Amino acid sequence: MVSSLFRTVLITILSLTSYASLVNAATEVNVYSARKEALIKPLLKRFTQQTGITVNLVTGKADALLKRLESEGRNTPADILITTDAGRLHRAHQANVLQAIQSKTLDQVIPSIYREPQGYWYGLSVRARPIFYVKGKVNPDNLSSYGDLTKPEFKRQICIRSSNNIYNQSLVASMIEANGIAATEKWATGLVKNMARPPRGGDRDQIRAAASGQCNIAVANTYYFAAMMAGKKAKDKKAASKMAILWPNQAGRGTHVNISGAGITKYAAHKENAILLLEFLANKESQKWYAENNHEYPIRKDVEASPLLQSWGKFKSDAINLSVLGKNNPDAVKLMDRAGWK
């Protein structure tokens, strides 16, 4: 009698425990993010407040997170991968760690050029990679395109990151799409000849180097420049104040742009929650937050950029589908190596 009662109680407890586990699992979503916690956590908290879905966040370097997803395979806890650059999103797709999804909401608000055609990944914010020059030291009339960076008059005047940087690889990949491999390699060779120093440091370092007189021209992403202008470091503010933005290729294909974005992992245990989170990150409220706090351009056409970015003026951006950046990446890397781009 006692043992029978004990078994009944034990089964009830186990059943309740299993039910609680299922309920908890159903109200969570797990995110691997290459974006720093400060740049994504406030939005994730707001998502939880509005939906009741708990977000478990793991941040790390982009390449490390991709390797982690590959090694974990079907045992990964991750439901979403958030990372920067269409080239990296393409790598994740090629590594078979993402799955295609269908979302009318995402298809309606995210322009087709900023998402993978079959739904493997979606852009969430846009950044441009223009040319910056030291005011009073460069005549902008002689610098209207990326191609102009190879002009003899700019010998030893250019600062740019190394060839192993994905942002530069994607810039070159876009040029391959527009101009072909031979013409792009000729351009890269000319660019190397005009470098003021061997590539080193990040995008901010290129702007700082130009402002300090090491070069007169720098290539960098817009959000780094905006962060320097809006940040608390007096030295960075001063350096940024010496620079002006030039939007390349306005008479042609437009300035090169890229994205931060996300995809649902292949073995996502909380797929529906993950799609809800992606749709939340693409809504007007989230896009406005991105614009104001991350100094990036909204992915949506119906959300304005921040006042700071608007102060730089409107520009024509390249209209290619960013999925080609990943497809052209192997050729871009080889080309840069042949050109002597360190």
Whether 315 is covered by a domain: the verdict is: no
What is the predicted pLDDT for the residue at 39?
Answer: 81
Please give the torsion angle defined by the CA atoms of residues 309, 42, 221 and 312, in that order, rounded to the nearest 10 degrees: 0
**Residue numbers of the domain that contains 149:** 128-256+322-338
One digit per residue, the tens of pLDDT, for the chain of length 342 reads: 444 544 444 333 333 333 333 334 578 999 999 988 888 899 999 999 999 999 999 999 999 999 999 999 999 999 999 999 999 999 999 999 999 999 999 999 999 999 999 999 999 999 999 999 999 999 999 999 999 999 999 999 999 999 999 999 999 999 999 999 999 999 999 999 999 999 999 999 999 999 999 999 999 999 999 999 998 899 999 999 999 999 999 999 999 999 999 999 999 999 999 999 999 999 999 999 888 888 999 999 999 999 999 999 999 999 999 999 999 999 999 999 999 999
What is the predicted pLDDT for the residue at 31?
Answer: 97
What is the predicted pLDDT for the residue at 291?
Answer: 85
Same domain membership, residue 223 and residue 155: yes
Whether 263 is covered by a domain: the verdict is: yes
Tell me if residue 54 falls in helix, strand or coil: strand
Whether 3 is covered by a domain: the verdict is: no
Same domain membership, residue 226 and residue 168: yes
Same domain membership, residue 60 and residue 114: yes
The CA distance from 186 to 149, in Å, is 12
Identify which of 233, 261, 307 has the alpha carbon closest to the alpha carbon of residue 83.
261
| Beta carbons within 8 Å of 268's beta carbon, 6+ residues apart | 78, 79, 80, 99, 274
Same domain membership, residue 211 and residue 69: no
Length of the chain: 342
What is the predicted pLDDT for the residue at 152?
Answer: 96
Same domain membership, residue 213 and residue 179: yes
Same domain membership, residue 120 and residue 133: no
Same domain membership, residue 170 and residue 287: no
Same domain membership, residue 139 and residue 216: yes
pTM of the model: 0.88
Whether 13 is covered by a domain: the verdict is: no
Same domain membership, residue 266 and residue 171: no
Q: What are the backbone dihedrals phi and psi of residue 196, each rounded to the nearest 5 degrees, phi first? A: -80, -20
Question: Looking at the 3D structure of the chain, how many domains does it have?
Answer: 2
The CA distance from 247 to 241, in Å, is 17
Q: Are 286 and 300 in contact (CB under 8 A)?
A: no
Q: Are 139 and 309 in contact (CB under 8 A)?
A: no
Whether 133 is covered by a domain: the verdict is: yes
Strands (E) in 176-232, as ranges, are 217-219
The DSSP annotation for 102-164 comes to --HHHHHHS-GGGB-TTSS-EEEEEEE--EEEETTTS-GGG--SGGGGG-GGGTT-EE---TT
Burial of 148 (0-12, 13-18, 19+ CB in 10 A): middle
The CA distance from 211 to 208, in Å, is 5
Whether 4 is covered by a domain: the verdict is: no
Same domain membership, residue 177 and residue 249: yes
The DSSP annotation for 217-240 comes to EEE--HHHHHHHHHSS-HHHHHHH
The CA distance from 95 to 90, in Å, is 8
Whether 264 is covered by a domain: the verdict is: yes
Q: What are the backbone dihedrals phi and psi of residue 163, each rounded to the nearest 5 degrees, phi first? A: -75, -15
Same domain membership, residue 169 and residue 47: no
